Amino acid sequence: MSVAGLITRRLVQLPFIVLAVYTLTFILAWSVPGNPLENPEGRRPPAEIVEAMKKQYKLDDPVAFYFDYLGKASGVSWALGRHDRPFDLGPSLKQPDWSVNEILATGLPVSMTLGLSAMLIAVAIGITAGVIGGLRPGSALDALTQVLAIAGISLPSFVIGSALLMLFAVKLGLFPVGGWGGLQYVLLPAFTLSLPFAAYIARLIRFGMIEEMSADHIRTARAKGLPRWKVAFKHALKNAFLPVLSYLGPATAVALTGSFVVEKVFAVPGVGQNFVDGVLGKDITLVMGVVLVYSTMMVVFNLAVDVLYRFVDPRITA
């Protein structure tokens, strides 16, 4: 299949995938007990106002809410002249002064900066550790990288983040405790978020390098007198990196969505904090809006990697 055919097929699949995610998220979010219009820690609106708001936002009818919100969020209601704005994700029910679009516009650049920074760190660490292990399998350095990879995969982000925060921010004072600003605010949360991805990339590179270094064309290059490091980086690493390239698409999307916990630990004002608060407060419009945006991003990232894969390895035709 050509690249144009691949893009066309994925774009046709996109609305069906997002619709399935939207439906599943709606069922889960609606089934959570609680009412976003009531605040047990503060003053509650009068009962008649609560009822009026339920009717306004269709919170008293799940079927009506499902189709009304879907029509506004997808732009169908705007195209049919039933709504004045396209892709309207609605108001936040727990933050009445903000719409979901405004929350995403404010928090998404922060979350994307954090996620993409984490992936750059993960690729750098993962390739370095994987090449070291792949060129010296069974050595002490290989064993060390394997232990670190297992630790990076096994330990939850909130454990690693809390430990790094206590050591480097509280004890040593090298980084700010929380917030967002310059590079010093990005490094610690990005490093925390990068570790599971770096560990997985290191394992992929290690296995790929071990396999490639025993291939016939590598032995031929070595027989011609080329240095081991030159053969490894010029010939073996390119093929060993192909599985990593396939992994980077969904991993990048997961890094953006998986930063929820890290954002909470480091008090990063991204989408993650708002999403967690939305889930806890049953802010269903915020939850649905974030899930719709992130599921769309997931499909787009996977498509971008598939297209890039075709250029790196033209043998791929499916």
CA 172, chain centre distance (Å): 30
Which one-letter DSSP state was computed for residue 91?
B
Contact 285, 94 (CB under 8 A): no
| CB distance 201 to 122 below 8 Å | yes
Domain boundaries, the chain: 100-281
Q: How far apart are CA 281 and CA 89, in angstroms?
A: 17
pTM for the model: 0.79
| Residues belonging to the chain | 318
The label of the residue with tokens 């995403």 reads 104
CA distance 53 to 126: 51
Q: How far apart are the first and last CA of the chain?
A: 6
Q: How confident is the model at residue 3 (pLDDT cuts 50, 70, 90)?
A: low
* pLDDT number for residue 280: 80
Helices 183-213, 100-135: inter-axial angle, 10-degree rounding: 40
Least confident of 33-47, 49-63, 138-152, 183-197: 33-47
A 10 A CB-CB count for 163 gives 12
| Residue 191 Cα distances to 47, 161, 203, 220, 282, angstroms | 48, 9, 18, 39, 31
* Lowest-confidence segment of 12-16, 116-120, 200-204, 313-317 by average pLDDT: 313-317
Amino acid at 169: A
pLDDT tens, 225-280?
A: 667 667 777 667 777 887 887 788 778 877 876 677 888 888 888 888 788 888 88
Q: Are residues 232 and 241 in contact, defined by beta-carbon separation less than 8 angstroms? A: no
CA–CA distance, 65 with 67 (Å, rounded to integer): 6
Alpha-helical regions (H) of the chain = 3-31, 47-57, 62-74, 76-79, 100-135, 140-154, 157-164, 183-213, 216-223, 228-231, 237-240, 242-257, 259-266, 271-280, 284-312
Give per-residue pLDDT as tens, 174-205: 888 877 878 888 899 999 999 889 988 988 88
* CA 150 remoteness from chain centre: 21
Whether the per-residue pLDDT at 159 is higher than 60: the answer is yes
pLDDT at 121: 93
218, 77 Cβ separation under 8 angstroms: no
Q: What is the pLDDT of residue 206?
A: 86
**Paired residues of 91 in beta bridges:** 99
Average confidence (pLDDT) over 164-175? 87
Q: Which superfamily does 100-281 belong to?
A: MetI-like (1.10.3720.10)
DSSP string, 135-188: HSTTSHHHHHHHHHHHHHHHS-HHHHHHHHIIIIIIIS--S-SS---SHHHHHH
